[in-house]
Amino acid sequence: MNISVLGCGRWGSCIAWYLDKIGHNVISCGLETAPELIALRDTHKNDYLTYPESIEVTSDLEKAVSHAETIIISISSQHLRSYMGDIAKYPLEGKNIVLCMKGVEVDTGCRLSEVVSSFVDKDKTPIAVWVGPGHPQDYVKGIPNCMVIDSDNEEVKETLVNEFSSELIRFYIGTDLIGSEIGAAAKNVIGIAAGMLDGIGYTSLKGALMARAPREIYRLVEAMGGNGISAYGLCHLGDYEATLFSPWSHNRRYGESHAKGEKFEKLAEGVMTSKALYKLSKKYDVEMPITTAIYNILFENKEFKTELSSLFERSVKQEF
């Protein structure tokens, strides 16, 4: 399959590396001035991996789009709408668009597939999402994992699962696009909470966090019309090890740094996602105490231990 991966960051470069490794014809495309693109173009390396010569690296978006049967996008979620404005200048009919990114648009509350669908006809340009656990640092060592591809288009997601599966990644066919997207986005918020617990030395509380967080994500997914059980699948709970415990997780490290009063310079998608989910909780009248606590800390300047205490002071209720 001819594939173009748009985005040259940590995950985008890993996707390009992986798809080339299993036999696809891959172009890796990024912004001309981006340090990530420059490093890959000039050295075929970054901090995580080395590209083989078979991967073409370019900043020519028109070339990348025209090359592809399947376009994979892996960029910051809050920049997707503006980037789609550039992509949509070129013919997209008959191509698949796959989103390998996790977030919710803050200004609109739109899921990322909804953002893309405002630029294309989904019947002519099917949209899919690729979510689940895994880190480039592990994949390049040959450590396998399981992931999910979901879409409203049954034929497309089954085709992509068959084309992308290998001994390194076992793909499952998703059955709930709403749940897959919301669950994947929300796990980054829970990752920040886990990092904050690490930062104040309350690591043992991460067990309770893992048990309670999917409950509130379940409620939001159901309220939005999805299947709440998706919160317990690979998109959310299944990604917890890679997000709540891994030294590679940007969101967990961001939370830990925040709790310690230190700066963390890399992208942590969970920051803006906490704001988006907080707004969705109000829109759908869903109780989301953990998400609300993280929102209050990051955007209302509340102190972490104060918010943690408020969670413990909530009224007594049955677990299920």
Give the H/E segment covering residue 318. none
* pTM for this entry: 0.95
Read off the pLDDT of each residue in 301-317 and give the average, rounded to a whole number: 89
Read off the pLDDT of each residue in 176-204 and give the average, rounded to a whole number: 97
Catalytic-residue membership of 187: yes
Residue 253 has pLDDT above 90, yes or no: yes
- Contact (Cβ atoms closer than 8 angstroms) between residue 262 and residue 201: no
Q: Measured between alpha carbons, how far is 244 from 157 in angstroms, rounded to an integer? A: 28
Residue 110 has pLDDT above 90, yes or no: yes
Radius of gyration of the chain (CA): 19
Alpha carbon of residue 57 to chain centroid: 23
Q: In terms of DSSP bridges, do strands 70-73 and 96-99 run parallel, antiparallel, or are they unpaired?
A: parallel
- CATH homologous superfamily for the domain 182-312: N-(1-d-carboxylethyl)-l-norvaline Dehydrogenase; domain 2 (1.10.1040.10)
Instruction: Give residue limits of the domains in the chain.
Output: 2-173, 182-312
Please state whether 117 falls in left (phi above 0), alpha (psi between -120 and 50) or beta: alpha
Question: What pLDDT was estimated at residue 265?
Answer: 84
Q: Tokens for 317? A: 């209720």
Question: What pLDDT was estimated at residue 317?
Answer: 85
- The tally of CA atoms less than 13 A away on the side-chain side of residue 52 is 13
Q: Average model confidence (pLDDT) for the chain?
A: 96
Q: Measured between alpha carbons, how far is 147 from 164 in angstroms, rounded to an integer? A: 10
Read off the pLDDT of each residue in 44-50 and give the average, rounded to a whole number: 94
Q: Which of 187, 266, 279, 317 is catalytic?
A: 187
Question: What pLDDT was estimated at residue 319?
Answer: 85
Q: Measured between alpha carbons, how far is 104 from 184 in angstroms, rounded to an integer? A: 10
Read off the pLDDT of each residue in 206-229 and give the average, rounded to a whole number: 97
- Contact (Cβ atoms closer than 8 angstroms) between residue 279 and residue 171: no
Q: How confident is the model at residue 262 (pLDDT cuts 50, 70, 90)?
A: very high
Q: Which residues pair with 173 in a beta bridge?
A: 149
Q: Tokens for 18? A: 């992986």
Place of tokens 């929102």: 295
Question: What pLDDT was estimated at residue 105?
Answer: 98
Q: Which residues pair with 239 in a beta bridge?
A: none
- Residue range 2-173, CATH number: 3.40.50.720
Read off the pLDDT of each residue in 262-278 and give the average, rounded to a whole number: 93
